[in-house]
Amino acid sequence: MQRGFTLIELVMILLLIAILAAVAIPRFSGYGAIKQGNAVMKIASDIRYAQNRATTTQQRSRVSFTGAATYEVRYCTSYTQATCSCSSWNFATDPYTRGNFQVNLNNDFSGVTIANTVSLLEFDPLGRPYNGAVSCTASVGTTVAVKYGGEPDKNIIVQSQTGMVSY
């Protein structure tokens, strides 16, 4: 007795593989957009955390974008109202790791970068945003652009006065 496959069996197997590939490949094509979207949600959540921290503790808080894929959240420990400046910033506590609040997107979202449109986003005790400007009154909104490969940029928008974060 000979063992092997008939031509019909081989064609059926190839047809089955082709159908499975046709169904599976489109599911993987959106992976870049999903990765970028998840990174946007993480960054927006961390910006909201800094804002909430500022309002609940009544201390200025800020998100510093330190590199193309890194940022940190800090709070002011010695604010001078007369000059509208803070001379000492401490790391906020990361609610997940309980360590210093420093994020490297390459750990979870490799290839995702933050555009250099903003380097610092500070919140006053009322939650109003300041875009790195030393000011006591002029609240300034900003946009944080998040990039990944060939995907279109996704923007995180922080509104002036209200500090509302949207994307």
Per-residue confidence band for 109, with pLDDT thresholds at 50, 70 and 90 = very high
Q: What is the pLDDT of residue 47?
A: 95
Mean pLDDT of 115-144: 77
The dihedral through the CA atoms of 72, 78, 81, 82 has a sign that is negative
Region 144-150 average pLDDT: 90
DSSP reduced 3-state for 84:
coil
70 contacts 104 by C-beta, under 8 angstroms: yes
Residue 78: its pLDDT value, please? 85
Look at residue 154 in the predicted model and tell me its pLDDT. Answer: 93
Mean pLDDT of the chain: 86
- Average confidence (pLDDT) over 113-123: 83
pLDDT digits (tens, 9 = 90+) for 81-91: 767 778 889 99
104 or 82: which carries more pLDDT confidence?
104
Place of tokens 């401490």: 90
Rounded CA gap, 118 and 42, in Å?
17
**pLDDT the model gives residue 75:** 94
